[in-house]
Structure 1
Amino acid sequence: MTHIVDDLQWRGLLAQTTDEGELRSALSAGPVTYYCGFDPTAPSLHVGNLVQILTMRRLQLAGHKPLALVGGATGLIGDPSGRSAERSLNSTEVVAGWVKRIQEQVSRFLSFEGENAARMVNNLDWTGPMSVIDFLRDIGKHFPVNKMLAKEVVASRLEAGLSFTEFSYQLLQGMDFLELHRRYGCVLQSGGSDQWGNLTAGTDLIRRVTGNHVHVISTPLLTKPDGTKYGKTAGGAIWLDPELTSPYAFFQYWINVEDSEVGKLLRTFSFRSREEIEELEKRSADSPAARIGQRALAEELTTLVHGAGETENVIAASRALFGQGGLEALDERTLASALAEAPQATVPAGDLPSVADLLVQSGLCKSKSEARRTIAQGGAYVNNAKVESEDAVPAAADLLHGRFLVLRRGKRNIGSVIAG
């Protein structure tokens, strides 16, 4: 079998390690307890977090024991990593609610049964009862300020300004590793490469307090060719919560990634074997128009995050929008999500305009004369039915779920009408 370190390297998931040789030996010697932390700074995790979650899953599938830490304490402070300005602090009630939501999200990707069962932990359990004096005496004394200032996560913020609150974040993360090391024998922590200073705070603390040597690995930040992060769009993050990013929008995000990025994304997110991924890369390169790699990526990731049923609904919606299935069979939520990605026109429910007017209002045609010409040439569709008359007016009975019309110009240009 391929060593898990070799697999992570092939997938491009290892940016840094504290000591690769020792880590290989530890992972080969038997089950290793490891952890990754997620701070509740929003009501949902996003695609960037998914890299860490799936790296945890890969380690568990290789026989190791995960501790999934959701930071009820660190979420109240705010990590300065990767930020140019201070975070806004959220209330204890808000953070507590987000902790529960994020625990539920992470738990879907790990197994909590068997010999290497995962365990969910919350750093508020050991940080909350600790007094300030105990924290300063037991933890703070092990952190030389000159070393803290030299770490990139701190140094990059000194000119812009960094509060003591965020400055202390690395002490809290270091204490988490020490506490998990004591409680569960945890000897490995994983995180993003922009977290390296915080990650190694724990290895230093454990060495100073116990004399033991533990390990850290980091994954590279997943970026697009233009340097921006994956999972970010003009509308914001690609969330794992279906209420914040619909399964349809999630699926379409991966369908639309650039050809040059498909191989990297499959290696990062897919659980297919190396041979399967390399074959997909080859087929994608040979037939880029077929978007074979994008479809494989979108289907696997949407199934992982939202389940097989939602993926089937999304695929059915995609086909139906372009005339390859019955729109009437789509449930209202799926149809609404699919149409949210298309140009929209809003009209009164009791007085529908002509199809020509709707083509203009939805932005599918620039003028009414262009719309009438499109109809005359047989290129206009309402709910996948070709419009035969330039003066056609939809009936109330045509409204899907009593609210929607799906407009199409030609084969690929979709628009929508919402009546209400």
Structure 2
Amino acid sequence: MANVLDTLLERGFIKQFTHEEETRELLEKEKITFYIGFDPTADSLHVGHFIAMMFMAHMQKAGHRPIALLGGGTAMVGDPSGKTDMRKMLTKEQIEENVKSLKSQMEKFIDFSDDKAIIVNNADWLLNLNYVDFLRDIGVHFSVNRMLSAECFKQRLEKGLSFLEFNYMLMQGYDFYVLNKNYGCIMELGGDDQWSNMIAGVELIRRKEQKPAYAMTCTLLTNSEGKKMGKTEKGALWLDPNKTTPFDFYQYWRNVDDADVEKCLALLTFLPIDEVRALGALKDKEINEAKKVLAFEITKLVHGQEEAEKAKTAAEALFGGGVDLSNVPTVTITRDNLGMALVDILTITKIVPSKGEGRRLITQGGVAINDEKITDFAIAIGEEFFVDGYMMVKKGKKNFFKVEIQ
């Protein structure tokens, strides 16, 4: 039987181990309980979390039991890792609402039936801790000198690290300790930016319980230049369809750089690795076919087959040739403009400088809407022309405009 570790390494998931050989042996011989933490700082997971969900899903498929830890307690403090500024403080009510939203999203990727996986909230044990008891029981095992040298605090030390945030490492270490005692959890997985916090939990269990504990970090989702992926003009690439539409989600992956296609296919889809390698090896125009597969597969995982089909069809209707949306100028009309003649819409949005110029261009076949040539300048533009809130106008051979309804 193949070791899940080989699958994870082959697909590019693993960045660091606390105990590589022991971990390999353990995953081969036993079915373990492991956990990944998600702080509910927003009401949706984003694509940065999606790689963690895939990490978790591969482990579950191999028979290991995931615990999805929602940080209702740690979110009250805020993780300083990878941040130059302190996070915005959330109210208890906001955090509780966010926890509910994340739970429903996770159920799409992880099977929680029959105790195959567990969702827990660290608010259950963190919020009612007695501070002095906690310091005596847990704080005594942490060296301040060592904590200050941790990578997760370095950036924050330059601007000033609050004592509130300094406690985050103790809390995350304590989470692992509680999950170990209550559920027999022996491994923590997480993003590579969490390495210092994860080691804290491993060492706490080994010191207090004299038991083995392990951690593996996952590579962060970055592009070929080392920048984090998943940022769009509108902000993060969310998994919630109300925050990022399935169409915009699909288009993001359709337009990734050629150099990032293979990595994204390996990390964010379940396609066999041979197929991933073959698609990643395509060059020039052919790589667009690999991008279509990537966009469809990820959208299917996040939003389901039906929404992925819709997004694919809409994308093909809007940009037969595949246009990079991020470079397309956006113009807006109001709902009051719906029903107006095409020539008027083009003039209002300044796509054409005048009605006369617009009429001439349209009648000569120089305008296409959603990749369909329109030669009637008086055609009424109604809502049916808009897919996911916008329509694409092509002027001449190369000029594209995205028309949105405000």
SS of the residue 1:187 aligns to = strand
Q: 2:367 aligns with which of 372, 377, 380?
A: 380
SS of the residue 1:7 aligns to = helix
Change over 3 Å in CA distance of 1:226–1:130 after alignment to 2: same
Q: 1:291 aligns with which of 288, 293, 296?
A: 288
Equivalent position of 2:98 in the other structure: 98
Change over 3 Å in CA distance of 1:394–1:347 after alignment to 2: farther
Q: TM-score, normalised by structure 2?
A: 0.90
Would you say the 8 A contact 2:319–2:370 is kept in 1?
no
C-alpha distance in 2, partners of 1:49/1:178?
23
One-letter code of the match for 2:332? Answer: A
The size of the alignment, in residue pairs, is 398
One-letter code of the match for 2:43? Answer: P
One-letter code of the match for 2:342? Answer: V
Change over 3 Å in CA distance of 1:188–1:315 after alignment to 2: same
* Unaligned stretches of 5+ residues in structure 1: 325-337
Change over 3 Å in CA distance of 1:372–1:57 after alignment to 2: same
Change over 3 Å in CA distance of 1:99–1:148 after alignment to 2: same
Would you say the 8 A contact 1:344–1:362 is kept in 2?
yes
C-alpha distance in 2, partners of 1:367/1:190?
60
1:393 aligns with 2:378: yes
Equivalent position of 1:23 in the other structure: 23
Would you say the 8 A contact 1:359–1:407 is kept in 2?
no
Equivalent position of 2:309 in the other structure: 312
Would you say the 8 A contact 1:364–1:415 is kept in 2?
no
Deviations 1:113-151 (A, max 9, x none): 35x700111111111232112211211111121111121
Change over 3 Å in CA distance of 1:395–1:169 after alignment to 2: same
One-letter code of the match for 1:23? Answer: T
* Greater Cα offset, 240-249 or 314-323: 314-323
Change over 3 Å in CA distance of 1:308–1:168 after alignment to 2: same
Equivalent position of 2:138 in the other structure: 139
Equivalent position of 2:56 in the other structure: 56
Change over 3 Å in CA distance of 1:127–1:359 after alignment to 2: same
Displacement of 1:36 after TM fit? 0.2
- Aligned-pair identity in percent equals 40
1:149 aligns with 2:148: yes
Would you say the 8 A contact 2:280–2:287 is kept in 1?
no
Equivalent position of 2:259 in the other structure: 260
Change over 3 Å in CA distance of 1:131–1:414 after alignment to 2: same
Change over 3 Å in CA distance of 1:66–1:385 after alignment to 2: closer
Alpha-carbon RMSD: 2.6
Would you say the 8 A contact 1:359–1:371 is kept in 2?
yes
C-alpha distance in 1, partners of 2:4/2:338?
63
One-letter code of the match for 1:409? Answer: K
Equivalent position of 2:395 in the other structure: 409
Would you say the 8 A contact 1:362–1:417 is kept in 2?
no
C-alpha distance in 2, partners of 1:404/1:175?
49
Deviations 1:333-377 (A, max 9, x none): xxxxx9xx8733315637865433422444544565653443243
Pairing of 1:237-386 with structure 2 (within 5 A): 237-282=236-281, 284-285=282-283, 288-289=285-286, 291-322=288-319, 343-347=330-334, 349=336, 354-362=341-349, 364-365=351-352, 371-382=358-369, 386=373
